[in-house]
Amino acid sequence: MSVPWETVIGLEVHCQLETRSKLFSGCPVEIGAPPNTRVDPYSYGLPGTLPVPNSAAIDAAIALALATGCRIAPRSAFARKHYFYPDLPKGYQITQADEPYASGGAIEVPGSTAEDGRPVRVRVQRIHLEEDAGKTTHIGRESRVDYNRAGAALLEIVSEPDLRSSEHAAAYVRELRTIIRTLGISAANMEEGTLRCDANVSLRPLGASEFGVRCEIKNVNSFRFLARAIEAEVRRQRDLIERGEPVVRCTLGYDHERDRLRIMRTKEDAADYRYMPDPDLPILEIDETRVAKVRNAMPELPADRRKRWIDGGVASDDAFLLTGERELAEFAQTAFAALAQENWRRAANWIAVEVLGRLNADGLAIAACRVTPTAVAELVELIADGTLSGRLAKDVFARMWAGEGGAQEIVVREGLRQVSDATSIAAAVAEVLAENPRQLEMLRGGKDALRGFFVGQVMKKTRGQANPQLVGELLDRAIAEGKS
């Protein structure tokens, strides 16, 4: 007999900020640059180098704190966290310990519903600023270190253990990524390592008030693996508990090829970091004027934008999809701005299905979209006023994509107007029925699948320009008349 267990998850997310230079030196940062080409004496931790805070990184940090509803500490401190590893030449990492610059925020998990019917809210315990370490790669018996990343600015966003499923955990990180990208402070890309996630997982009997012992899964590098790693850990802990064995607090690595977790270290040999205030850096002071300046420069946040669009009639699936990426959201926003609000819903759906479909098929990002958002708006207007059927609009869009001009221009040049004139459509219907007597007999005899064939023939006869709804109605009428 198995007890129902509740999964408890808390996440630590690292985001590498896209500042021009590192957190404490003028050394340039560039993702994907050849190893050890973005380094300076500070990155190598050479004696005599001193940290100087990068003010752009601090502004980015303030923006994320505001976007997640955190309190910003007017004064916070930098601390040294010591450990020995080749990727950390100074022998310590500058981070924030007991005094992070931001705490007490929350993020709503999109698409989730809590017991009270509202979206699940995950409290953000703290956000702190720290410098990144280098990157070690093990190739056979050789280990190589790349210091390009050493000293880059990182934000660590620590959640309270408020998540209860792997699915919500992934959705939370996605939302965080969307917020970061919308703010434009980082590409927040898991594959490139500019977004990294550690998941703390524990189990407890459903309804218990105390948390169970947690284990921490380190550095998962995709959303899919994050959810899978959590599920694998839940299975591992449940097996232990149900066999009567204790869950021992540990740090784990996830092997996605075998869908298995590997214990890296247990609490017994947990590192003692010997935290101490960094004597080379002053207290980090963030005053109201600075916060206000950052706040005023902030774009509309994804959650606000989503709500505004849904209130404006956009289907919620489309609103979630289109606010997922900053550039996509701006594309949609520009299209909406050119349209009456009653057409937002149609425009959103058109972008979500047709525009993204084309982009995906051609392997292009939204930034490389060949059709401008205002051109999409023009097309949507032609659908809305009945000039184009959905089918014709697709043809027109294909021509727009091929660079043949704007929607209106193509409609006029190609004579692609939708025909909604009942007399001419009825004539086409009559011709088609007369031309296919055998199929008509079968349809009247109950072979309903043939209806699609007749619709297709009428569309063909009218060069795809007949209003499909009207074709359907007139066809059904003609078929029914013949039956009686």
Report the C-alpha gap between 466 and 428 in whole angstroms.
9
For ligand ADP, the binding residues (CB under 6 A) are: 8-12, 158-161, 200-202, 211-212, 214
In angstroms, rounded to a whole number, what is the distance separating the alpha carbons of residues 416 and 469?
Answer: 17
Least CB distance to ligand ADP at residue 218 (A)? 11
In the numeric block, which tokens belong to residue 361?
A: 């098929």
Minimum CB distance to ligand ADP smaller for 124 or for 458: 124
Q: Smallest distance from the beta carbon of 249 to ligand ADP, in angstroms?
A: 9
> Residue 10 CB, nearest distance to ligand ADP (Å)?
2
Nearer to ligand ADP, 204 or 370 (CB): 204
Q: Which of 302, 246, 395 is nearest to 107 (CA)?
A: 302
Q: Kindly tell me which of 59 and 156 has the beta carbon lying closer to ligand ADP.
A: 156
125 versus 387: smaller Cβ distance to ligand ADP: 125
Q: Which is nearer to ligand ADP, 167 or 409 (CB)?
A: 167
Beta strand 121-131 with 102-108: parallel, antiparallel or unpaired? antiparallel
Instruction: Report yes or no: 470 and 476 within 8 Å, Cβ to Cβ.
Output: no
Q: Minimum distance from CB of 385 to ligand ADP (Å)?
A: 53
Q: What is the C-alpha separation between 187 and 28, in angstroms, rounded?
A: 16
As measured in angstroms, the least distance from the Cβ of 28 to ligand ADP is: 31
The closest residue (CB) to ligand ADP is 10
Handedness of CA 404, 406, 409, 411 (dihedral sign): positive
Least distance from ligand ADP to the Cβ atom of residue 217, Å: 11
State the Cα–Cα distance between residues 348 and 315, nearest whole angstrom. 8
The CA angle 184-328-32, to the nearest 5 degrees, is 50
The dihedral built from the CA positions of residue 198, 203, 206 and 210, taken in this order, carries a sign that is negative
Q: How far is the CB of 243 from ligand ADP (least distance, A)?
A: 20
Beta-strand ranges (E) seen in 370-416 are none
CB 216 to ligand ADP: min, Å: 7
- Give, as one character, the DSSP assignment of residue 101: S
In what order do the strands lie in the sheet containing 121-131? 71-72, 102-108, 121-131, 153-159, 5-16, 195-205, 215-220, 250-255, 260-266
Residue 106 CB, nearest approach to ligand ADP (Å): 13
- Give the nearer residue to ligand ADP in terms of CB position, either 130 or 354: 130
Site of tokens 């004027």 = 289
- Residues 11, 198: contact at Cβ < 8 Å? yes
Question: How near is the Cβ of 120 to ligand ADP at its closest, in Å?
Answer: 14
Choose between 103 and 200: whose C-beta lies nearer to ligand ADP. 200
Q: Rounded distance, CA 92 to CA 45, Å?
A: 9
**Under 8 Å CB-to-CB from 13, ≥6 apart: which residues?**
156, 157, 158, 159, 173, 176, 195, 196, 197, 198
State which residue, 9 or 29, has the beta carbon closest to ligand ADP.
Answer: 9
Residue 234 CB, nearest approach to ligand ADP (Å) = 11
Burial class (CB in 10 A: 0-12, 13-18, 19+), 34: exposed
Q: Which is nearer to ligand ADP, 204 or 290 (CB)?
A: 204
**How far apart are CB 126 and ligand ADP at their closest, in Å?**
8
Q: Which is nearer to ligand ADP, 198 or 330 (CB)?
A: 198
Identify which of residues 270 and 398 has a Cβ nearer to ligand ADP in the complex.
Answer: 270
Give every CB contact of residue 8 below 8 A, 6+ residues apart in sequence. 161, 163, 164, 201, 202, 203, 204, 211, 212, 214
Q: What span, in angstroms and rounded, lies between the C-alpha atoms of 157 and 169?
A: 14
Q: Which is nearer to ligand ADP, 19 or 159 (CB)?
A: 159
- State the residue for tokens 């012992």: 213
